[in-house]
Structure 1
Amino acid sequence: MFECTIEKLVDKDEVYFISTLKDVTDKKESEEMMIRSEKMSIAGQLAAGIAHEIRNPLTSLKGFLQLLQAGLTSKEEYYQIMLEEIEKMESITSELLFISKPLTDNKKTEAINEMIEDVVMLMKPQAKLKDIQLGFESEETAFIYCDRSQIKQVILNLVKNGIEAMDQPGTIVIRLEANHESVIIRVIDEGGGIPSDLINKIGEPFFTTKQSGTGLGLMISKQILAQHNAILDITQNKDRGSTFHIIFPVK
């Protein structure tokens, strides 16, 4: 894999163009390795919440099966409940498997609302463990041209960071706004906030305000957004916490 740069050089009446090719194969491989490592780390951290969320439907299924074994008569009603519990587990495990898959590069027009709803469903068990309410607010359906897998990874990273930043019960809100110029996703947490003198450093490799963090999650998120011509802006909330703004330009 190569990067190509072209420079224009003017010497009196002559115009020259100088092209430089640089082999960036090792750089790309290192970036992909960091992304895989971060994704697997996230999957591991979510395991406790996911296990708790799956245990409840399994307990229900076990109870209904025992009732059926005992000769329960009104079976149809319980069959429906059992199917709903199984579908709930399928949805959770599908989203968890999504995290561990390699990032693709397949851009097309996607409904951002659906992507956020998937992330909320996956992160709710993790939030529940810390008594945090996770909500999604949107007045309309918005579409962006993106790689679905990559943008879901970015939103998941920001929600995960918000949960980790909160030491006491509270709320994290994902708010979707759209106008004729941009589509904006805001992740609003109630954590300790980020000091103003450190905000510009957020996203640098291995810089983090968390005791057990690496800083790679936000660095990867910024790289993904740059590939989508989008930006990540961070502001302090007036009362408590931080807001992460993902801004997509509308083509």
Structure 2
Amino acid sequence: MPGLIRFRWIAIVSLLLGTIPLLKWGYLDKRHFPYIIAVLTLLAILNVLAHSIWPKQEDYGQKQVLVHLWVDLLAASGLLFVSGSADNPFVSILCIHSFLGGMLLRKKASYVFGASVLLLLTLLQYETWLDSQKTVGIDFSELSLRFLSQWVLITASWFVSHYFSSLLARKEKRIRLLQDRQHQADRLKALGALTAGFSHQLATPMNSLKLRMERGLRKLPDESSGAREEFEKAQSSLDECVRVFQHMASVFSRSSQSELQRVELPVLVKDLIGVWEKENPGIVVESHLTIDSLWCRLQTLAFSQTLFDLLDNALEASPAQSPLYVRLFQEDTWAVLEVVDKGSGISAEILSRLGEPFVTGKEAGNGLGIYSAQMMAQASGGDFVITNNVSGKGVTSRIRLPLEEK
């Protein structure tokens, strides 16, 4: 909006200066000069009000910008109506309005403003055509060609600015998305490094504690069944702590140290599903894998573990005898792998934090499988998301990896 206000001041000054040659060359009737001054004065007042109001506004929406552009367009069209209409050489000022509309407005608002510019241009041309009917010796073919060129220029101005504005908007959205992913990746890596450090520092005392508990358990008399049961529970809890730390450290190690290998994804996924089905007899996995050759560069071990974890999660979430679904397909320059179940879904609160260690919707889970999937995908240049299915039943785990040339 500040840029639009500055542009309006420039336009007001330019129009004031432009009236001098128009009066001199006869394009502007002296009787219309007060009308022009009145229009420019109203524009100046609008500019002053907009400048005083704008700092108080947090953000101007598309509607406010559209209204300001319409005011400028109507003012310019009004000035053209009293100074030669489409026969005025300054009719090209509509190109600037068209360009601004395509650049500053988005989607429906941009199309509406572009159509408004063309409508006013048509009215100006119609006014000029009516005046030409009263003039002798007018070459109507030349007039039609001039009208057509005006349409082409204004339409091209809007189209070019609208196209590049949309392109810049997509690039800006992509940059924000990459920044968010980088922030999330940095946070997860920091958590992984912290956990790996904890695991290293606590390994010795925890192993020592485990040995002492085993020694104490052996020294307990046989008749101390209650104390022995408590010792066994404590030892089980300690073993679980050791496993969690080891898992977290291994996840960080795999995602930061493993080398990327070039693999044909459909072949790898098919083989991994076959291995998982052998380890889980009786479970039906409906695979819908593309027949195209999709090559990706990824960490094979980390990817394999991730797919197994996602299938395990889907199996735990699904009702008994319910099949699991695996889809692999190409989407633009990405290979997309989806694991779908028909469970009860995930609450919005848990879904918004999935991927953080120890955040999970399972009673006995620790969230490290999802954390591992995110680290694997990001290390390969892709992303990983989990969403509830539109049907309301189950979730879809989606891994997206960049494709390489064959």
TM-score scaled by length of structure 2: 0.37
- Out of 264, 274, 284, the residue aligned to residue 133 of structure 1 is 284
Matched residues in 1 for 2:359 and 2:278: separation?
A: 27
Instruction: Kindly state the Cα deviation for residue 245 of structure 1 after the two structures are TM-superposed.
Output: 0.7
The answer on 1:105 being equivalent to 2:315 is no
Match of 1:167 in 2: 319
- Hey, what's the Cα distance between the residues in 2 that align with 1:199 and 1:136? 25
**Bigger mean CA offset, 29-38 vs 142-151:** 29-38
User: Larger radius of gyration, structure 1 or 2?
Assistant: 2
Contact 1:127 1:163 in 2 (8 A): no
The Cα shift of 1:25 comes to: 7.1
Q: Indicate yes or no: 2:267 matched with 1:114.
A: yes
- Give the Å deviation of 1:198: 2.2
How many Å apart are 1:38 and its aligned residue? 7.0
Residues 34 and 111 of structure 1, relative CA distance in 2, 3 Å threshold: farther
Q: Is the 8 A contact 2:327 2:338 kept in 1?
A: yes
Once the two structures are overlaid, the 10-residue window that deviates more, 131-140 or 142-151, is 131-140
Shift in Å, 1:170 = 1.1
Local SS of the residue matching 1:208 = coil
SS in 2 for 1:204: coil
2:304 is matched with 152
Provide the C-alpha distance between the structure 2 equivalents of 1:188 and 1:126, rounded to a whole number of angstroms: 19
Higher strand residue share: 1
Preserved CA contact (<8 Å) 2:350 2:359: no
Give the AA of the match of 1:123: W
**What's the offset of the Cα at 1:183?**
0.8
Distance 1:126 1:38, change over 3 A: farther
Give the C-alpha shift of residue 36 in structure 1: 4.8
Structure 2 CA distance for aligned equivalents of residues 156 and 145 of structure 1: 19
Give the whole-Å Cα distance in 2 for the aligned partners of 1:178 and 1:193.
26
The runs of 5 or more residues in structure 1 that have no matched partner are 1-21, 41-101
**TM-superposition CA deviations, 1:124-168 (whole Å, max 9, x none):** 14544xx53112212223110112111111111111110111132
**For structure 2, which runs of at least 5 residues remain unmatched after alignment?**
1-189, 201-242
Q: Which amino acid aligns with 2:263?
A: E
Q: How many residue pairs were aligned? A: 167
> How far apart in 1 are the matches of 2:367 and 2:396?
17
Contact 1:107–1:146 (8 Å) recurs in 2: yes
Q: How many angstroms does 1:115 deviate by?
A: 2.0
Alignment match, 1:207: 359
SS at 2:399 equivalent:
strand
Q: Give the % identical residues.
A: 19
Residue of structure 2 aligned with 1:217, choices 364, 369, 374: 369
Aligned with residue 382 of structure 2, among 230, 240, 245:
230
Whether the 8 Å contact between 2:196 and 2:248 is mirrored in structure 1 is no
More helix by proportion, 1 or 2? 2
Distance 2:352 2:279 in 1: 28
